[in-house]
Structure 1
Amino acid sequence: MFFMSRKKAEMVRAEDALPGRAAAIPTADTHFLSGRPLTLSVPEGMEVAMFGMGCFWGVERMFWKLEGVWLTMVGYAGGFTQNPTYQEVCTGQTGHNEVVRVVYDPKVISYETLLQVFWEGHDPTQGMRQGNDVGTQYRSGIYTTTEAQAQAAQDSRAAYADQLRKAGFGAITTEIVPAPSFYFAEDYHQQYLAKNPNGYCGIGGTGVSCPIGTGIAQAG
């Protein structure tokens, strides 16, 4: 068991990753709560953010509750396998992370506020795991869509790292990279905790506040 957990916590090499498939995995047509089409299209004036924080069920719930968030969706990103299934991602042989893609209105909610929810909503010092969930799919990641987002993410990491150090935590392991291809997760994963309010999700924050997150976004 320990050996399997250790292997799942090691990033697979591209040449060893599962091949995947050309066709997209079927997913939900609409958002379970808002009824809006579950699509990669972005309405005019909206912007996109993408985060990995552990089990994407609980992460998505954190973001869909925020005023100014237009649409949330869960999926896989940051790996090598084209159009992976959940079962494939769970093997650790795709390289993908469980991520939430957030479409938001920057006139209502700032990117910095989304970053604050990200940092405070999980423990970004745990490497390839989050709580009892072990594997590369549970790693901490910020996947940026603009240079301004990338700068804001780097600045926020530096600020939060200082706060975590003072509280006795180790170094931040969060990856901050340009947003890779996003692959929709299966229908039943979308808005899972709205459909299953008592469902398990093993994420939890550090209890340390992140000193950002007010005002209208400057990033984006």
Structure 2
Amino acid sequence: MFLSRRVPELPTPEQALRGRETPAFDVPARHTVLGNPLLGPYPEGLEAADFALGCFWGAERKFWETPGVWTTLAGYQGGHTPNPTYEEVCSGLTAHTEAVRVVFDPSVVSYEQLLKLFWESHNPTQGFRQGNDVGTQYRSAIHTHSAAQASAAKSSREAYQKVLDGSGYGTITTEILPAEGRTFYPAETYHQQYLDRNPAGYCGIGGTGVKLSTPFETNWGASCPTGVASAPDADQQ
């Protein structure tokens, strides 16, 4: 994950690469570990969650190893360039971040449990960086699919900030934004389940060692919908 130069500031829509109307590559049909389809539509009752926490090779593995996760998909999200390639994202001129779409069964694993895994698996205070990986594509982000997800994500961020403060860390830079209007573009075939096919491959994912207690205060459960919806309400930090 060390290709091209990295530009530590986000381009405007006018500055971003133009991209293309259709994908530049195909996506495999099935997950190499879980065996389920990578692309939707997904079975009724499952939900989607989108997380960006640095290099998506290691991030994806964190989630596919979690019981209750039905499939995972590495991709690009939160930028301006339609249907980007990896090289374009690495240039810093698309505004995308490396993300993982997690499709999960909420009767087995809760969204809060996925949030706990998200926070504890990376350092969310580093801005456009995760460890030695530097660039806008490594920024921390949560893209939410419902108002309930947005509420849970914000509550978890507040709770984790408190425990980070007590451990000497700085301010969380994680974006919490609605997935609606921020298309998730699947990454190339060789990125999908990369660490399953390359067990000794590079993984830049590493947390702070600070744990988040659950349940944290949230209204999740009172209004948690089934299926995948769009989030009408999320903030920009």
TM-score range, shorter chain: over 0.9
Measured after TM superposition, the shift of residue 77 of structure 1 is 0.5
Question: Which residue of structure 2 aligns with residue 11 of structure 1?
Answer: 10
Q: Are the aligned partners of 1:110 and 1:213 in contact in 2 as well (CA < 8 Å)?
A: no
Question: Which residue of structure 2 aligns with residue 22 of structure 1?
Answer: 21
Question: Which residue of structure 2 aligns with residue 134 of structure 1?
Answer: 134
**Structure 2 matches for 1:54-203, cutoff 5 A?**
54-179=54-179, 180-203=182-205
State the distance in 1 between where 2:103 and 2:170 align: 31
Structure 1 runs of 4+ with >4 Å offset:
none
Question: What is the CA deviation profile of residues 125-162 of structure 1, one whole-angstrom value per residue up to 9, with x for unaligned ones?
Answer: 00011000001100000100000000000000000000
Measured after TM superposition, the shift of residue 103 of structure 1 is 0.4
What are structure 1's unaligned runs of at least 5 residues? none
Measured after TM superposition, the shift of residue 213 of structure 1 is 5.2
Residue 50 in structure 1 maps to residue 31 in structure 2: no
State the distance in 2 between where 1:66 and 1:213 align: 18
Q: Are the aligned partners of 2:34 and 2:64 in contact in 1 as well (CA < 8 Å)?
A: no
Q: Please tell me the residue identity of whatever aligns with 1:182.
A: F
Measured after TM superposition, the shift of residue 59 of structure 1 is 0.3
Q: Please tell me the residue identity of whatever aligns with 2:196.
A: A
Measured after TM superposition, the shift of residue 35 of structure 1 is 2.3
Question: Which residue of structure 2 aligns with residue 38 of structure 1?
Answer: 38
What are structure 2's unaligned runs of at least 5 residues? 226-237
Residue 205 in structure 1 maps to residue 193 in structure 2: no
CA distance change for structure 1 residues 213 and 65 in 2, over 3 Å: closer, same or farther? farther
State the distance in 2 between where 1:130 and 1:58 align: 12
State the distance in 1 between where 2:46 and 2:92 align: 33
State the distance in 2 between where 1:27 and 1:77 align: 16
State the distance in 2 between where 1:62 and 1:101 align: 12
Q: If the length of structure 1 is used for normalisation, what is the TM-score?
A: 0.94
Q: If the length of structure 2 is used for normalisation, what is the TM-score?
A: 0.87
Question: Which residue of structure 1 aligns with residue 232 of structure 2?
Answer: none
State the distance in 1 between where 2:117 and 2:87 align: 28
Q: Please tell me the residue identity of whatever aligns with 1:13.
A: T
State the distance in 2 between where 1:174 and 1:128 align: 10
State the distance in 2 between where 1:174 and 1:135 align: 14
State the distance in 1 between where 2:139 and 2:40 align: 23
Q: Are the aligned partners of 2:70 and 2:105 in contact in 1 as well (CA < 8 Å)?
A: yes
Query: SS at 2:14's partner residue?
Result: helix
Q: Are the aligned partners of 1:114 and 1:213 in contact in 2 as well (CA < 8 Å)?
A: no
Percentage of pairs with the same residue: 56
Q: Are the aligned partners of 1:112 and 1:213 in contact in 2 as well (CA < 8 Å)?
A: yes
CA RMSD of the aligned region, Å?
1.3
State the distance in 2 between where 1:95 and 1:84 align: 10
Question: What is the CA deviation profile of residues 174-205 of structure 1, one whole-angstrom value per residue up to 9, with x for unaligned ones?
Answer: 00000121101000000000000000011210
Question: What is the CA deviation profile of residues 6-60 of structure 1, one whole-angstrom value per residue up to 9, with x for unaligned ones?
Answer: xx11001110100111111322121111222221312100000000000000000
* Matched residue count: 213
